[in-house]
């Protein structure tokens, strides 16, 4: 009887603890949603929840840009009791001009000919045949060059656009695996492996995107 009673007590504690965690998570999600809705109202943004069978997250829109923070499932099992789920956060806006790509620097990019082949594959994936005459551009900021790689067709345009203020803003994101590119009239910031949910982080990403959009307006 003592063992049975002890097991019942332990099970009850687990249920209470699990329920408490669930309620806490629900509360934090509700608070985050309220903060996002308040931000959207203050800035005139439109926000909606995305709930599809294989995709879920949020979309925030202004008249100038769109931000999506999503999780997607292939619907296929990747292991016992689990599914293959990918996450991404993408900010995008219309922007005319020459194509370019800015990406956080990885150690693979400095491995001689192997690194060059890796760069070529990245550019071909990003731009297709448009990558043929794109080249790496160095700035007069060694810290920025050590943290980011910049590829562009028009060196002068990208150097003039990446002002010291923009470089400082990007260095604050250097630990994130982000890719910034402009092609086919669209400027985008892509972050793979993260479905961004925190209101302050989303606002910082939006501010970065708006700064880049202003950069490309000059």
Please check whether residue 177 is in contact with residue 85, taking contact to mean a CB–CB distance below 8 angstroms.
Answer: no
Distance (Å, whole) CA 176 – CA 103: 10
Number of structural domains the chain divides into: 2
Last residue of one domain, picked from the residues 93, 118, 140 = 93
214 occurs within a structural domain: no
Regarding whether 152 and 88 lie in a shared domain, the answer is no
Regarding whether 163 and 177 lie in a shared domain, the answer is yes
196 occurs within a structural domain: no
Distance (Å, whole) CA 66 – CA 213: 12
Helical spans, DSSP H, in the chain: 2-43, 112-127, 142-147, 155-161, 164-171, 199-215
In this prediction, residue 23 carries a pLDDT of: 55
**157-182 pLDDT tens trace:** 888 889 998 999 999 998 888 899 99
Backbone angles phi, psi at 28, to 5 degrees: -65, -40
In this prediction, residue 108 carries a pLDDT of: 46
Q: Which domain does 35 fall in, by range?
A: 2-93
| Mean pLDDT (10-residue bins), the chain, 218 residues | 63 67 56 74 88 88 94 70 79 90 69 54 70 83 92 86 90 88 91 88 92 73
Please check whether residue 171 is in contact with residue 162, taking contact to mean a CB–CB distance below 8 angstroms.
Answer: no
Helical spans, DSSP H, in 130-198: 142-147, 155-161, 164-171
């Amino acid at each position: 009887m003592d063992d049975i009673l002890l097991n019942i007590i332990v099970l009850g504690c687990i249920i209470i603890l699990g329920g408490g965690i669930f309620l806490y998570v629900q509360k934090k999600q509700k608070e985050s949603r309220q903060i996002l809705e308040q931000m959207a109202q203050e800035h005139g943004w439109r926000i909606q929840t995305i709930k599809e069978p294989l995709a879920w997250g949020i979309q925030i829109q202004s008249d100038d840009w769109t931000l999506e923070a999503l999780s997607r499932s292939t619907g296929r099992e990747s292991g016992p009791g689990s599914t293959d789920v990918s996450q991404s956060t993408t900010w995008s806006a219309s922007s005319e001009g020459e194509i370019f790509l800015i990406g956080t620097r990885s150690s693979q990019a400095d491995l001689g000919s192997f690194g060059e082949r890796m760069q070529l594959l990245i550019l071909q994936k990003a731009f297709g045949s448009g990558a043929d005459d794109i080249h790496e551009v160095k700035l007069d900021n060694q810290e920025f060059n050590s943290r980011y790689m910049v590829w562009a067709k028009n060196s002068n345009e990208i150097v003039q656009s990446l002002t010291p203020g923009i470089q400082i803003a990007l260095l604050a994101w250097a630990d994130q695996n982000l890719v910034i590119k402009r092609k086919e009239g669209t400027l985008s910031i892509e972050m793979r492996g993260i479905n961004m949910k925190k209101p302050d982080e989303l606002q910082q990403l939006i501010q970065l995107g708006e700064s880049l959009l202003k950069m490309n307006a000059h």
